[in-house]
Amino acid sequence: MSLIIASQLEPGFNDNLRRHASAPTVIEVPDAAPWDAARQADVLLIRPGPSWKAQRQAPKPDLWPGKLKWVYSASTGVDFYPDWLLDAPLVTCGRGVAADEIADYVLSAIYHHAKNLEGARVRSLSEWRQIPLGRVSGSTVGIIGFGAIGQEVARRALALGAHVTATRRRAEASPVAGVRLLPLEEVVASADHIVLALPATRDTQNLINARVLNRAKPTAHLINIARGSVLDQAALVEALDAGRLAFATLDVTEPEPLPEGHPIYTHPKIRLTPHISSNYLAVRERLFDKVSDDLSRFVRGEAPSDIVDAAAGY
Ligand SMILES: NC(=O)c1ccc[n+]([C@@H]2O[C@H](COP(=O)([O-])OP(=O)(O)OC[C@H]3O[C@@H](n4cnc5c(N)ncnc54)[C@H](OP(=O)(O)O)[C@@H]3O)[C@@H](O)[C@H]2O)c1
């Protein structure tokens, strides 16, 4: 089977894809209206971009899903696309490709907060003073959303001597030994570091709200590498200002980026990074291997990995 793949990924990635054993025809689609490729392509390989985001509220185009057999999202989250994207015969995602990198970011945030080396830095004799340092071993990392990223965070945290609690949507056992699965509120209440690693869906909109944040320890550190929409940001700022939460590390916000002058940019208890935790360029090879392997499965008539559940939204 020789497939026509319409790809929004960069030319180098597409050149490598042309060398796949199934000898696909790979066409580059303009970012302006990638859905137009549904007229001629079997597979649409997409990444979140401004044109998809602008279409989020727009009605489904008449041509959709057209000739498409398969839509492949390079991102794990499918929330940056319009809902009608999922109305295709098969939609899969790049789950797991960046999980290691994001887990490393989370661990770096945890150490940064716990050890506060910047705060302890001595630049003159007058600054020579002892301050208490926090701990990572013996602390509790609470993970909300226990998928590819959450599990990588858990493995690292356990290896460093931390306790790990987690919550997930489905009533299934933990795939990582040593992790205690608990209801959301108990994870929040137990944690020194609260890690948000769940998808943006109808169910998770503002899931981490004032009521949930009220359960946190006043010394807790919240880390959001998921999506801004899962966290009530106003409630976060209130909790930090009132001393009901100690610090937040945010890689994602709602909206993204925040408008100029937004208090989160300069809040002394928030460290904001510009949605970089996935270390996008560093994981390109992993994405290529995953797409390539999925393509092989597809041409053999087998299901590719990580099929998106349209009803659940991830
Ligand atoms: N910052 C970045 O650059 C970046 C990069 C990649 C991904 N992300 C975001 O991070 C999210 C997680 O990524 P992932 O790869 O770990 O995804 P994943 O493998 O799909 O895991 C998602 C986890 O969230 C859980 N979940 C879903 N709905 C929930 C709910 N209502 N309450 C509690 N848990 C819920 C799922 O539960 P079950 O296990 O029971 O299904 C699963 O454990 C993505 O959806 C994306 O939005 C951000």
Flag whether pLDDT at 235 surpasses 90. Answer: yes
Tell me what the pLDDT averaged over the chain comes to: 97
Flag whether pLDDT at 259 surpasses 90. Answer: yes
Q: Is the CB of 150 under 6 A from ligand 1?
A: yes
Flag whether pLDDT at 1 surpasses 80. Answer: no
pLDDT of residue 281: 86
Distance CA 228, CA 35 (A): 26
Are the CB atoms for 120 and 142 separated by under 8 Å? no
The protein residue whose alpha carbon is closest to atom 42 in ligand 1 is 147
212 is written with which tokens?
């949930």
Q: Is the CB of 168 under 6 A from ligand 1?
A: yes
Q: Write out pLDDT tens, residues 3-19.
A: 999 999 999 999 999 99
Distance CA 44, CA 124 (A): 59
Answer whether the bond into residue 274 is a cis peptide, omega within 30°: no
Are the CB atoms for 24 and 3 separated by under 8 Å? yes
pLDDT of residue 190: 96
Q: Is the CB of 252 under 6 A from ligand 1?
A: yes
Mean pLDDT over residues 112-136, rounded? 95
Q: Write out pLDDT tens, residues 143-198.
A: 999 999 999 999 999 999 999 999 999 999 999 999 999 999 999 999 999 999 99
Answer whether the bond into residue 175 is a cis peptide, omega within 30°: no
Pocket test for ligand 1, best of 149, 179, 186, 287 (most atoms within 8 A of CB): 149
4-97+280-299 shares its CATH topology with 99-272: yes
Express as a percent the part of the chain with pLDDT over 70. Answer: 100
CATH number (3.40.50.300, 1.10.8.100, 3.40.50.720, 3.30.70.980) of 99-272 reads 3.40.50.720
Task: Tell me the HSE value of 38 on the side-chain side, using a 13 A CA sphere.
Answer: 20
Between the CA of 251 and the centroid of ligand 1 the distance, in Å, is 15
Which overall architecture, per CATH, does domain 4-97+280-299 show?
3-Layer(aba) Sandwich (3.40)
Domain boundaries, the chain: 4-97+280-299, 99-272
Q: What is the largest CA-CA distance in the chain?
A: 73
Flag whether pLDDT at 266 surpasses 90. Answer: yes
Length of the chain: 314
Lowest mean pLDDT among 25-34, 220-229, 237-246: 25-34
